Structure 1
Amino acid sequence: MNDLEGLLEVARAAAAEGSRLLSTTGPGGVRAKGDRDFVTDLDVRIQSSVREYLGRVAPEIGFLGEELEPDEQEHDAPEYRWVLDPIDGTSNFIHGIPLCAVSLALAQNDVPILGVIAAPFLSLEYYASAGHGAFCNDHRIKTSHTQSVSNAIVSIGDYAVGDNAPAKNRQRLALTTALAAEVERVRMFGSAAIDLAWVAEGRTDACILLSNKPWDMSAGVVIARESGALVTDSDGRRHDVGSAHTVAAAPGIASALLDLVGTTLASVQG
């Protein structure tokens, strides 16, 4: 895969088609996947459309999508594969909240090497490829220069639903409390892709997501890294597919923020 920039253009075209459908089509049927976790007909339609396009243009590359059925999943991950969340922020979309996006990445051995996030209701397209910087609407973006957590806007991921939600939410609530005592403001957007993209753009200074699913994180991780953000697990180790959590922060506050996160999570676990 020598033509990374060419593949980025493929990804942008695929995400643009998904974005067009997202902005012009209603959700259709809505059904539960689990406890307070929903999928719409449009999620499935966007995934099918993007997958079909990528399969025609780059048939040698594998595919992982959030809404694939179990029998469609690849049991052995190929060296290269696309990773798609057709609608990141489905609950937002269902309720008419514009914080939702198509999130598409290309991963090599499960390491994201390019990513595109298209948020049509905000008229925003973010993209990046490894070693070539991060962009929003064709303008280069960089993280904020914030040097103090007291001046930082920090977004957090959704509270947990489903299995073991009470235990998971003890961590999330403790983290919310700790952040509220230290940072300028805490925000919850309901879309991991937007969380990471806005750190990359400097709209926010950090995001803390106590989860790590590839379709949620892959595109945003490469965009955030290419903007200069430090992207790690909550223990400070470099973020990868095996990480438990996802933390992205502007360099000036990363160390202090990770200290806060680590101390808070340790106190809950203890």
Structure 2
Amino acid sequence: MARYTDDLALAHMLADTADKISVARFRALDLHVSSKPDLTPVSDADIAVEKALRATLARARPRDAVLGEEYGDSAPAAGDGKRRWIIDPIDGTKNYVRGVPVWATLIALMEGDTPVVGLVSAPALGRRWWAASGLGAYAGRHQSAATQIHVSGVSQLADASFCYSSLTGWEEIGRLDAMLDIMRHTWRSRAYGDFYGYMLLAEGALDIMVEPELSLWDLAALVPIVTEAGGTFTDLAGRPGPAGGSAIATNGKLHDEIYTRLGVRSNNPMS
């Protein structure tokens, strides 16, 4: 049996639980929404999903640590803590509370600093994406209705579809002009935002996705899906993986050019 198969199966079970809770509260008239200290919204569905997933992990993987957006880091009941589950109960909460169906539960397993399992479940879109190290990346409504996915083969910026979350963050770090320049030179640019751009990248539907400021729970589940689909995923400093708090994800062929145009020193591991 391939390594991580059991962990991936557990991730699907966790996603099934999350979907039942989040779908039941989506567009509910009595949905309770409050603001966190950083002024981002949190709904009762965010809280309920994370509590449920933590309870399942405590039973199924008591030796593993857990990090979630709403309840932070928790040490394992036993074990060395090298394995850690990363949970974003609802990525795209602003969409969720406004009734926009582009939101998802993000579930990842990390060993040390490396995400080895990633699953993104977007039940309002009727779609789920998942991957594990060495097992490839897949998408479908569920495991029994899945298709292996791959990034595109686009190699010219003029032919590329470019995606981002918003422009305000790039303005704050002084790279708005660079972003606008990329938009002028690509075939198409759209701000799909949150998890969705990365999943479209992994499917080959677009070629570049960038974000300047993110948390580990925003990123960890995305990395295995993009890389197992054949893409490249680094932070703005060129470091592979999710630890840097930013993201440049591409089909690999366009990575160096995006670094150059964003004014970031290229350390592309694919070059």
TM more than 0.5? yes
- Give the Å deviation of 1:156: 1.0
- In structure 1, distance between residues paired with 2:54 and 2:205: 31
Matching residue of 1:107: 110
Q: What residue number does 2:172 align with? A: 167
What are the superposed Cα offsets for residues 214-255 of structure 1, whole Å, 9 maximum, x if unpaired?
1000010110000000111224332341x2421110122222
1:31 maps to which of 22, 34, 38: 34
> Is 1:95–2:98 an aligned residue pair?
yes
TM-superposed CA distance for 1:93, in Å, is 0.8
1:65 maps to 2:68: yes
2:43 corresponds to 1:40: yes
Amino acid at match of 1:11: A
**How many Å separate the matches in 2 of 1:157 and 1:186?**
11
Amino acid at match of 1:6: D
Q: Secondary structure at the match of 1:81?
A: strand
Cα distance in 2, alignment partners of residues 73 and 166 from structure 1: 35
Aligned residue in 1 for 2:187: 184
Match of 1:259 in 2: 260
Q: Counterpart of 1:247 in 2: which secondary structure? A: strand
Question: What is the match of residue 143 of structure 2?
Answer: none
Q: Deviations over 1:132-190 (max 9, x none)?
A: 100001210000111111111111133558xxx9734x43x334312221112222123
SS at match of 1:180: helix
**Which protein is richer in helix relative to its size?**
1
Aligned to 2:119: 116
Other-structure match for 1:156: 164
**Aligned position for 2:6:** 6
Contact 2:178 2:263 in 1 (8 A): no
1:86 partnered with 2:89: yes
What is the CA–CA distance in structure 1 between the aligned matches of 2:224 and 2:192, rounded to whole Å? 19
- Report SS of the residue matched to 2:131: strand
Taking every aligned residue pair, what percent have the same amino acid on both sides? 26
Q: Which residue of 2 aligns with 1:225?
A: 227
Distance 2:4 2:208 in 1: 28
* 1:237 lines up with 2:239 in the alignment: yes
Q: 1:160 to 1:215 in 2, by over 3 A?
A: farther
Relative contact order higher in (CA < 8 Å, ≥ 6 apart): 1
CA 1:263–1:115 in structure 2 vs 1: closer, same or farther (change >3 Å)?
closer
Shift in CA distance, 196/235, structure 1 to aligned 2, threshold 3 Å: same
Paired residue secondary structure (2:185): coil
Given candidates 144, 150, 175, the residue that maps to 2:152 is 144
RMSD: 2.3
TM-score by length of 1: 0.86
Where 2:258 maps in the other structure, the secondary structure is helix
- Name structure 1 gaps, 5 residues minimum: 265-270
Cα distance 1:49–1:159, how it changes in 2: closer, same or farther (>3 A)? Answer: farther
The residue type paired with residue 258 of structure 1 is: Y
The alpha carbon displacement at 1:212 in A equals: 3.5
